[in-house]
Structure formats: structure tokens, C-alpha cells
């Protein structure tokens, strides 16, 4: 994962009820914190899946239950 970088102000259009629910579910102190958490979580999951796909391509990770397709 990338090293922490400085925080910048961005003007984005978001659905307020969804942001409020996000704050509540994450227990975040602010809307900004909740959004940063979700961004970090998504980027982390994307990085993990990149490595899982690489392992599957190499044939070193097998789907014992045959639930997913190679890709």
C-alpha cells in the first residue's frame, strides 16, 4: 500500500443519507474520516485481489470448492 500522503480538500457530490450511514457504521468521528477509511479499505482489498489473481494464474492457489472462475 502507498505511504501516507498529505490530505487535500476535494469538492465532491455525495448522497448525504449514505454518508451519514457510513459514518455510523464505521464509528467514524467525521464524514471525512469515514470517506478516507472506505477509500483505504477499497484500495487495500484491490491490492489483495491483484495478488490472489496472480497466485491463481501461477497455479499456486487453488479453489478447492470450485466456486470461482479463473480470471
Domain ranges of the chain: 16-58
Tens digit of each residue's pLDDT, the chain (71 residues): 455 688 999 999 999 999 999 999 999 999 999 999 999 999 999 999 999 888 888 887 677 787 776 65
HSE-CB for 64 with a 13 A CA cutoff: 0
Q: What is the pLDDT of residue 69?
A: 67
pTM summary value: 0.73
If you write DSSP's letter for every residue of 21-71 in order, what string do you get? HHHHHHT-SSHHHHHHHHHHHHHHHHHHHHHHHHHHHHT-S--TT--S---
What's the CA gap between 50 and 43, in Å, rounded?
Answer: 11
Amino acid at each position: 500500500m502507498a505511504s501516507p500522503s498529505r490530505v487535500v480538500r476535494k469538492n465532491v457530490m455525495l448522497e448525504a443519507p449514505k454518508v451519514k450511514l457510513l459514518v455510523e457504521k464505521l464509528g467514524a468521528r467525521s464524514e471525512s474520516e469515514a470517506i478516507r477509511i472506505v477509500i483505504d479499505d477499497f484500495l487495500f482489498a484491490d491490492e489483495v485481489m491483484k495478488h490472489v489473481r496472480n497466485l491463481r494464474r501461477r497455479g499456486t492457489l487453488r479453489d478447492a470448492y470450485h466456486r470461482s472462475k479463473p480470471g
